């Protein structure tokens, strides 16, 4: 790691973003995937609340800002290529804006093998 | 869901790709994140082995093809926006090409809050 805080080695995509997988720290449930730019990563680390960049609205959003369903950040891990984050959180209430606990309760691709 | 197999509703990005979070089905460890195009999703579902699109090499790769470290697919879940997949697998050997079990053992962003 080239810097003590790990920021310098992160590799953002052409749009300046990095995907962040959000996982409940104790049950290990994968809750959602959001996108962060460098500033959103900094805010997440500095505030202990996940902050994302909304690609559709082109603005920052703090998870739970309106719903109260915050994600308290426990740990932010970087993958081998430094182009993906795994954020361990303690989720307050449902993670999904639809009201389901995880965002991955909305369908399935049938595996036929 | 608009089709029995779930393909029709998937939303790919401008490059025709969708991120796939790969999770060990029983321990719930997040192993890696890879990218799939529509054909890679079809091959993954049809063969029961994860198939990705390599953005750097611009070619399909079957996880474990050279290393033997296959991922046997148990379930492919779609998120609320249909733009991310969560693939539950049974991982043979280490998931990371560096030899670590997960790709997320390569650094950490310090949370200062």
pLDDT tens-place string over residues B53-80: 999 999 999 999 999 999 999 999 999 9
Note whether ipTM > 0.90 here.
Answer: yes
CA dihedral B52, B17, B42, B59 (to 10 degrees): -40
Quote the CATH superfamily of domain B16-91.
Phosphoribosyl-AMP cyclohydrolase (3.10.20.810)
Annotated ligand binding at B26? The verdict is no
Domain boundaries, chain B: 16-91
- Point out the residue among A49, A104, A107 whose CB comes nearest to the CB of B9: A107
CB atoms within 10 A of CB B68: 8
pLDDT of A2 reads 44
Q: Do A106 and B6 touch (CB under 8 A)?
A: no
What is the structure's pLDDT at A8? 85
Q: How far apart are CA A57 and CA B46, in angstroms?
A: 36
Cβ-defined contact of A104 to B78 (cutoff 8 Å): yes
| Listed residue (A55, A20, A13, A18) closest to A34, CA to CA | A20
CB pairs under 8 A between A and B: 144
Higher pLDDT pick, A1 / B112: B112
For the residues A47-75, what does the mean pLDDT come to? 96
Known binding residue B5? Answer is no
CA dihedral A92, A102, A43, A55 (to 10 degrees): -140
**Which two tokens mark A19?**
């995907």
Reading phi first (left if > 0) and then psi (alpha if -120 to 50, else beta), residue B93 is in: left
């Amino acid at each position: 790691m080239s810097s003590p805080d790990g920021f310098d080695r992160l590799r953002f995509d052409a749009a300046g973003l990095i995907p962040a997988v959000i996982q409940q720290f104790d049950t290990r449930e994968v809750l959602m995937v959001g996108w962060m730019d460098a500033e959103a990563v900094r805010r997440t680390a500095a505030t202990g609340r996940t902050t994302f960049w909304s690609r559709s609205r082109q603005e920052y959003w703090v998870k739970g800002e309106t719903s109260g369903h915050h994600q308290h950040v426990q740990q932010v891990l970087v993958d081998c290529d430094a182009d993906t984050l795994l954020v361990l959180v303690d989720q307050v209430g449902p993670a999904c804006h639809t009201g389901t606990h995880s965002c991955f309760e909305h369908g399935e691709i049938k595996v036929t093998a």
